[in-house]
Amino acid sequence: MKQRGANILRSLDWPVFMLYTALVFLGWFNIHAAVFDDKYSSIFDFAARYGKQLVWIGVSYIIIILIMASNYRIYSVLSYFIYGGIIILLMAVLVVGTKTNGARSWFEIGNLKIQPAEFAKFATALALSKFMSAYDFNLNKLRDLIMSASIILLPAGLILLQPDMGSVLVYFSLIFVFYREGMTGMILLLVVLGIAVFVTTLQYELSVVIIGLVIVAGIWHCGMGRSLTETLIAWGIIIVLTTIFWVINHFALNDKFEFHFLIVAASLLLLPVALVYSYMKKNWTAVFVCGGLLLMFVYVFSVDFVFNNVMTDHQQTLIRVFLGLEVDPQGTGYNVEQSKIAIGSGGFAGKGYLQGTQTKYNFVPEQATDFIFCTVGEEWGFLGSTIVIGLFLTLILRIIYLAEKQRSVFSRIYGYCVASILFFHVAINVGMTIGLVPVIGIPLPFFSYGGSSLWSFTILLFIFVRMDASRDELL
């Protein structure tokens, strides 16, 4: 046993461990600065948030010891069981969980609150890695692609029901893992297109979006080497049918239907015919374009439905403010404005530890959790912010470097899952504080206050570190 422990210590990637330690304790100091009160002057006061965080940091190192002492093979063997257990917890929290800020996301046990959604990240990463590392797995097979996506979408869907939109979006970062494992770049392009359509749907009338999609589909059809005549004929038929429907709707039905429904109706009459005709002619480009346009119609209407019927009023307002559709400097936009003021006031070198006025006088809400980075910006300035972001990027790049060195496909895929999740959290959290992305409420890894967040990221990272420590063993 001693020999095994010594081997693990020698094989432990110490750069990752040191980066983790630096980030955890920098986070602790910044939580102290964010909630500092003269009544609790000692940083070791366990009645204050920073005192509790120190306890959770201590527990995190115990977790690390337990993970490093375990057999690395158990994570592959038990991956589906861990995933299944988390799915059960995600379903249970919807029934017996504590409701906080409009979301039923927490189990409350005495003074301890546990958020299953945080732990679902490493469980999903394990299950996805297990499935994708199978001998006959191939992302070009529709069945394998659907199963892989389902592993991600199941916990994401349960978290959406809480609702916790921020945690849901984290799962989409795993698209980078798919890309690394051989997914065609076309799907990544479609994801980017989907995001663009989502934003456009919220900014413009549905009629404008639908017309835009029809035009883009025609241009794409021509751009892929097909006849311009076919595209012009299709556009002409849609215009004629839409005109006929508009006349009927206006004069016979007293404008019962909105204009975008008329365009969709005209397109839906044409597209099935075009699909069958293109299939018989083996014109696969036209089949792809027509099928894609149909899916985009479904997507646009689902975006409209989700935004207006699934998202809370608070989440809708956050997105409207971010897109410039609504101005609310005293309400939803207040957090971001105060955060930007705090970061900007830090200048190049910052105001100094515990000297942040925006932080000290609680101008920034949630400054110890989601907006912890504004404390870094105010007290340590551009220089300190650059160092913190540099530490995160170094850690992520180190994980990717180690992932590429793995002899096990399971370990490599899991490493990329870890890197993708950490990158998404860092990019979105920092982006929130400086107004680049909507405020969706996700923590900064190892920095933000909270036991569930710290423990889940610790488990996520050090399972991979444990795998890496044994990468030279025969598998």
CA-nearest of 457, 451, 453 to 49 is 451
Residue range 363-388, pLDDT digits in tens: 666 666 778 888 888 888 889 889 99
Q: What is the per-residue pLDDT for 475?
A: 47
Q: Which segments of 126-266 are extended strands (E)?
A: none
Task: Please state the separation of Cα 251 from the chain's center in Å.
Answer: 48
- For residue 252, CA distances in Å to 165, 169, 257 come to 43, 45, 11
CA-nearest of 395, 411, 379 to 446 is 395
pLDDT higher for 388 or 212? 388
Q: What is the rounded (10 degree) CA torsion for 89, 90, 96, 97?
A: 110
Q: What is the per-residue pLDDT for 241?
A: 82
DSSP summary character for residue 250: I
The lowest-confidence range among 44-53, 378-387, 441-450 is 44-53
Cα radius of gyration (the chain): 26
Burial of 427 (0-12, 13-18, 19+ CB in 10 A): middle
Cβ atoms 197, 299 nearer than 8 A: yes
CA-nearest of 413, 415, 406, 402 to 475 is 406
Region 267-272: mean pLDDT is: 78
Which positions ≥6 away from 445 have C-beta within 8 Å?
23, 392, 422, 425, 426, 453, 457
Region 160-168: mean pLDDT is: 80
Residue range 90-141, pLDDT digits in tens: 999 888 877 776 677 878 877 777 888 889 999 999 999 999 988 888 877 8
Strands 98-100 and 112-114: unpaired
| Residue positions counted in the chain | 475
pLDDT over 80 (residue 417)? yes
- For residue 172, CA distances in Å to 125, 152, 178, 250, 443 come to 12, 8, 11, 43, 16
Which positions ≥6 away from 188 have C-beta within 8 Å?
175, 179
Residue range 231-243, pLDDT digits in tens: 777 778 888 888 8
Q: From CA 78, how far away is CA 69, in angstroms rounded?
A: 16
Q: From CA 268, how far away is CA 75, in angstroms rounded?
A: 49
pLDDT higher for 101 or 410? 410
Cβ atoms 452, 115 nearer than 8 A: yes
How much helix, strand and coil, in percent to the nearest 5, is found in the chain? Answer: 70, 5, 25
Residue 403, CB-side half-sphere exposure with 13 Å CA sphere: 23
Q: What is the per-residue pLDDT for 194?
A: 77
Most confidently predicted of 35-39, 183-187, 217-221, 354-358:
217-221
pLDDT over 70 (residue 333)? no
3-state secondary structure of 336: helix
451, two tokens: 């036991």
CA-nearest of 133, 167, 179, 171 to 151 is 171
Cβ atoms 213, 296 nearer than 8 A: yes
| Helices of type H across 97-141 | 116-132
138, two tokens: 């191939």
CA-nearest of 228, 203, 212, 199 to 263 is 212
- pTM as predicted: 0.78
326, two tokens: 């609504």
